[in-house]
Each structure stands twice: as structure tokens, then as C-alpha cells.
């Protein structure tokens, strides 16, 4: 049995608490949140105790800790948890600065604690199957990867202001997916972006529409497109073109009923957003972490994957700013 603590009982902390409750090898023992009502709601729901974050970090009855606090807190919490010898499940991004994320990596590696960067999309059954089929050679050599990732609607501008920008907050998942599918590091990147959805996002210094093109050393190409708006729901699609064929992973719909009449065929809208779309992935992600701890294997994706995705986000921000290709 692995005893867990959760730091941060907000949107994603609640998702992880639910996943733990479904896994027989894991037990949520304790939770912390700066808002007492957030901590008590989760503690009550899952029969956990409430402690200060600092107490959980050093608690002798806790084996693993989920870091689900706002990103600005991850750096200190990762350092403290690594020093205390805890296994760490950390939400993305590790930090808004890739240098600071690199410092987290150095501490985690020096202390030798298990660490999973929570790139949940790797655990989506469809995307995982695409990756497995690429690896099995089903489409020959992959040549072009196209990742479409569009949110149903933009977050509040207050969130945008502290998010680190679209590349570090949103496209970070797609950078990791690109690395996951390409199986090679990126050596060249060009980004472009606009503010087409909400002028207030532009006034806050960010973009809401973006496209990034990247290349690996062997010449494989990946194109990512993001929007903070999709009128038909959360748009999450992947296409991989290879020397012997193509793989496509389509959107998840609210239901699979198709209606047909004289105007044509109509399907249900896409699942609304990440909580619904990736529900299965969140559970599989936690299960993989718990299994790795039980077997003593290295959790995957690790902290180096978090740092590498962050470096791509930094490169995209630089490319947008300088209107030039960035060589990595």
C-alpha cells in the first residue's frame, strides 16, 4: 500500500484524489490547501486528514505526494519533497522557467526520488495506441506529426496573466506529445501566434492562437496548432503520416449517436473540456505511478521530460518574440 498526500485541493487535486480512491494499492491519507474549505471538502469526501503542506512534506507515514498547487509553488515544494525522500507526482508545468525546472531536476536526481511529470495525455488510450503503433512500425518511418489542441473557451484574463503564456501553460502538453510520438529530440523550432479570440488576452501580453513547426535531427516534422477557442468543444486530434501509412486519433464525443436527415449527418459535440476528455487518462496516469512505485521501476514521463517540454515552450516564446527560427 502506498500512502499519499495531496498538496492543493483545487481542480486537478480533486481529479487525482478520485483516481487514488479507485486504486486498491493506494491510499489518500492527508491533504493540504491554503483554503481551509477546499482541504476539508476533499478530506471529508475521501476520509483523509488535513495537515499543513510543510507537515505533509516531512510526515513519516507518507510515501508519495501529489503536487497540485499553483505552478509558482512547485519549485519549493519539489525541493522540500526531494530532501524529505518522498516520491513525487508533480503537475505540469514543473516551473514557468526552464532554468528553475532544471534546478528541480538536479535536486530530484541527486536525492534519487521517484518523480512523474503529469503529462496526462500520454495515458489517453487512443494517443498511447498511436505511439505504440508507431513504435511497432505499423506506418513505417513517421515523417509528419500534426497535433491539434484547442480549448473550448479562454480562461479568465486573471489566469492568463499568471499562466506564463500560451506556450508554457497550454502548448506544454503538445510539446510533450510531440516528443512522445517523434521519439527524438527537437533541433529546430519556429512559432507564430496571434490574438484573435479575446483582445483582453492580447492586452495582458499573451496570444490565444498559435502554430509551431518543429524538426528533429533526422528530419521528422511536427506541426502543433492551438486555439483558446473551439465552438464545438475541446478539440484534441492527432495525425501521424509515415512511409507506409497514416494514423489518426479523433475527438471524443459526448455520445456516439449519429442523427441523419435531409440536411445531412450530425453527431454529438466533443466532450467539453479536459476533465471529461481525459478522465480515463488521469486514472491510467495515477495507476502507472502507483505501479512504478510498487515495482521499484522509474515513473514515466520523468522530470527530464518535464524540463525538455519546458525548453521547447521557452524556444517557442523566443521564436515568436524574435520572429525567427530557434535552433536547439
Ligand X SMILES: NC(=O)c1ccc[n+]([C@@H]2O[C@H](COP(=O)([O-])OP(=O)(O)OC[C@H]3O[C@@H](n4cnc5c(N)ncnc54)[C@H](O)[C@@H]3O)[C@@H](O)[C@H]2O)c1
Is position 53 an interface residue for ligand X (rule: CB under 6 A)? yes
Answer whether 150's CB lies under 8 Å from 234's CB.
yes
Distance CA 100, CA 137 (A): 37
Angle between helices 98-111 and 303-322 (to 10 degrees): 170
Q: Write down the least CB distance from residue 14 to ligand X, Å.
A: 8
Cell numbers that stand for 144 in this block: 509528419
Distance CA 9, CA 293 (A): 23
Is position 177 an interface residue for ligand X (rule: CB under 6 A)? no
Angle between helices 171-182 and 125-135 (to 10 degrees): 30
Q: Write down the least CB distance from residue 280 to ligand X, Å.
A: 13
**Binding to ligand X in span 270-309, by CB under 6 A:** 274
Is position 140 an interface residue for ligand X (rule: CB under 6 A)? no
Q: Write down the least CB distance from residue 97 to ligand X, Å.
A: 14
Is position 11 an interface residue for ligand X (rule: CB under 6 A)? yes
Q: Write down the least CB distance from residue 172 to ligand X, Å.
A: 8
Is position 120 an interface residue for ligand X (rule: CB under 6 A)? yes
Distance CA 241, CA 222 (A): 10
Window contacting ligand X (CB under 6 A); options: 2-10, 41-49, 250-258, 314-322 = 2-10
Q: Write down the least CB distance from residue 140 to ligand X, Å.
A: 32
Q: Which residues share a beta bridge with 72? A: none
Cβ neighbourhood burial of 304 (10 Å; 0-12, 13-18, 19+): middle
Is position 253 an interface residue for ligand X (rule: CB under 6 A)? no
Count of residues in contact with ligand X, rule CB under 6 A: 23
Please pick, from the candidates 4, 5, 9, 251, the single residue that binds ligand X as defined by CB under 6 A. Answer: 9
Which parts of the chain fold into alpha helices (H)? 11-21, 36-46, 53-58, 74-83, 98-111, 125-135, 157-161, 166-169, 171-182, 199-203, 274-277, 279-295, 303-322
Is position 81 an interface residue for ligand X (rule: CB under 6 A)? no
Answer whether 168's CB lies under 8 Å from 160's CB.
no
DSSP string, 283-320: HHHHHHHHHHHHHTPPPSS-HHHHHHHHHHHHHHHHHH
Window contacting ligand X (CB under 6 A); options: 16-24, 63-71, 260-268, 291-299 = 63-71
Distance CA 190, CA 219 (A): 14
Is position 118 an interface residue for ligand X (rule: CB under 6 A)? yes
Is position 28 an interface residue for ligand X (rule: CB under 6 A)? no
Is position 91 an interface residue for ligand X (rule: CB under 6 A)? yes
Nearer to ligand X, 75 or 326 (CB): 75
Cell numbers that stand for 223 in this block: 506541426
Residue nearest to ligand X according to CB distances in the complex? 10
Is position 1 an interface residue for ligand X (rule: CB under 6 A)? no
Please pick, from the candidates 30, 51, 71, 209, the single residue that binds ligand X as defined by CB under 6 A. Answer: 71
Q: Write down the least CB distance from residue 72 to ligand X, Å.
A: 9
Q: Name every residue whose Cβ is closer than 8 Å to that of residue 309 and which is 6 or more positions away in sequence.
A: 92, 93, 117, 119, 172, 175, 176, 179
Nearer to ligand X, 51 or 216 (CB): 51
Please pick, from the candidates 26, 42, 68, 230, the single residue that binds ligand X as defined by CB under 6 A. Answer: 68
Residues that bind ligand X (CB under 6 A): 7-13, 32-35, 38, 53, 68-71, 73, 91-92, 118, 120, 274
Amino acid at each position: 500500500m502506498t500512502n499519499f498526500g495531496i498538496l492543493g485541493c483545487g481542480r486537478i487535486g480533486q481529479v487525482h484524489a478520485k483516481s487514488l480512491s479507485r486504486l486498491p494499492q493506494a491510499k489518500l491519507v492527508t491533504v493540504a490547501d491554503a483554503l481551509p474549505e477546499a482541504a476539508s471538502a476533499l478530506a471529508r469526501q475521501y476520509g483523509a486528514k488535513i495537515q499543513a503542506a510543510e507537515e505533509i512534506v516531512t510526515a513519516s507515514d507518507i510515501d508519495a505526494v501529489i503536487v497540485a498547487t499553483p505552478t509558482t509553488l512547485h519549485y519549493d515544494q519539489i525541493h522540500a519533497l526531494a530532501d524529505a525522500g518522498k516520491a513525487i507526482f508533480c503537475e505540469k508545468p514543473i516551473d514557468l522557467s526552464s532554468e528553475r525546472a532544471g534546478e528541480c531536476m538536479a535536486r530530484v536526481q541527486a536525492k534519487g526520488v521517484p518523480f512523474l511529470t503529469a503529462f496526462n495525455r500520454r495515458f489517453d488510450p487512443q494517443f498511447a495506441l498511436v505511439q505504440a503503433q508507431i513504435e511497432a512500425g505499423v506506418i513505417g518511418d513517421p515523417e509528419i506529426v500534426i497535433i491539434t489542441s484547442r480549448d473550448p473557451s479562454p480562461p479568465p484574463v486573471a489566469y492568463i496573466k499568471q499562466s506564463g503564456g500560451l506556450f508554457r501553460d497550454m502548448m506544454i502538453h503538445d510539446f510533450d506529445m510531440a516528443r512522445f510520438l517523434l521519439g527524438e529530440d527537437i533541433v529546430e523550432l519556429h512559432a507564430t501566434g496571434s490574438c484573435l479570440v479575446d483582445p483582453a488576452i492580447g492586452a495582458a501580453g499573451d496570444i490565444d492562437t498559435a502554430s509551431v513547426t518543429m524538426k528533429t535531427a533526422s528530419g521528422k516534422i511536427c506541426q502543433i496548432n492551438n486555439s483558446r477557442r473551439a465552438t464545438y468543444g475541446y478539440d484534441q486530434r492527432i495525425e501521424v503520416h509515415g512511409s507506409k501509412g497514416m494514423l489518426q486519433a479523433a475527438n471524443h464525443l459526448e455520445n456516439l449517436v449519429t442523427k441523419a436527415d435531409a440536411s445531412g449527418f450530425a453527431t454529438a459535440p466533443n466532450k467539453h473540456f479536459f476533465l471529461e476528455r481525459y478522465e480515463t487518462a488521469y486514472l491510467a496516469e495515477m495507476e502507472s505511478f502507483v505501479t512504478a512505485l510498487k515495482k521499484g521501476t522509474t515513473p514515466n514521463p520523468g522530470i527530464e521530460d518535464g524540463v525538455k517540454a519546458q525548453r521547447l515552450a521557452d524556444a517557442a516564446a523566443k521564436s515568436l518574440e524574435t520572429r525567427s527560427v530557434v535552433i536547439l
